[in-house]
Chains A and B, each alone.
Chain A
Amino acid sequence: AQSVAQPEDQVNVAEGNPLTVKCTYSVSGNPYLFWYVQYPNRGLQFLLKYITGDNLVKGSYGFEAEFNKSQTSFHLKKPSALVSDSALYFCAVRPRSGGGADGLTFGKGTHLIIQP
């Protein structure tokens, strides 16, 4: 069975500092990898995804993520945090192999708090 781990329930970063939200996964083969963000009282918004190619993926709002196959990780990063980045972040995976549910397996989420 596939699983996603987000080891930190909460990450606190000062505004202007770089941020990292960690994600590791366990799934057979090479999955598709995703990051979503959820603002209070809102649905999930897609941030970025890894399909193939360059291990560093750039997405919305200045976020990027680094795929590391050997460590089965897909950490979310941003060089300079903004207070408006404060939200709940979810990592998700979906197997490449066909015939499955194509549903996403989510991590439990990480609250990112950017302090002014």
Chain B
Amino acid sequence: EAQVTQNPRYLITVTGKKLTVTCSQNMNHEYMSWYRQDPGLGLRQIYYSMNVEVTDKGDVPEGYKVSRKEKRNFPLILESPSPNQTSLYFCASMGVAGGNEQFFGPGTRLTVL
């Protein structure tokens, strides 16, 4: 089954404790992206990757890092989480033809105390 998976689905942590949210896709997509969803703000892009070893900032990259060492994986790293990073996070992937839709993972709900 074609899918995007994320782990963990739920995470409660404390300020400053480094964490990683994993994302994996099995569709051989070149493009992957991370979004955060906040009430009243919709989804906002954090980082994206056009292919292996190619990453770039989205609209709200501060406080986040990513890496793309393999085509299928695109982890999101919070080196020193803060309470304002409490949010619902989605990973997405897409084949790079222009009109393609993005496929989204199930989401990771992060709470930073």
Contacts and interface: CB of A to CB of B under 8 A. Distances in A.
Contacts of A103: 33, 45, 48, 58-59
Contacts of B104: 36, 43-45
Given A101-B48, A101-B56, A51 B99 contact: yes
Interface string B43-79: 1110010100000101100000000000000000000
Interface string A1-26: 00010000000000000000000000
Nearest to B103: A46
A43 B109 CA distance: 11
A56 interface: no
B101 A34 contact: yes
A46 to B, nearest CB: 4
Interface residues of A, number: 23
A90 interface: yes
Contact of B101 (A43, A49, A96): A49
Nearest to A35: B101
B107 A101 contact: no
Contacts of A108: 40-42
A43 B90 contact: yes
B112 to A, nearest CB: 20
Nearest to A47: B101
B14 interface: no
A111 to B, nearest CB: 11
A106 B43 contact: yes
A103 B43 CA distance: 11
Given A42-B106, A102-B94, A49 B43 contact: no
Interface of B: 4, 31, 33, 35, 40-45, 48, 50, 56, 58-59, 90, 94, 96, 98-99, 101-107
15 contacts: A36-B104, A42-B107, A43-B90, A43-B106, A44-B90, A44-B104, A46-B102, A49-B99, A51-B99, A90-B43, A102-B48, A102-B96, A107-B42, A108-B40, A108-B42
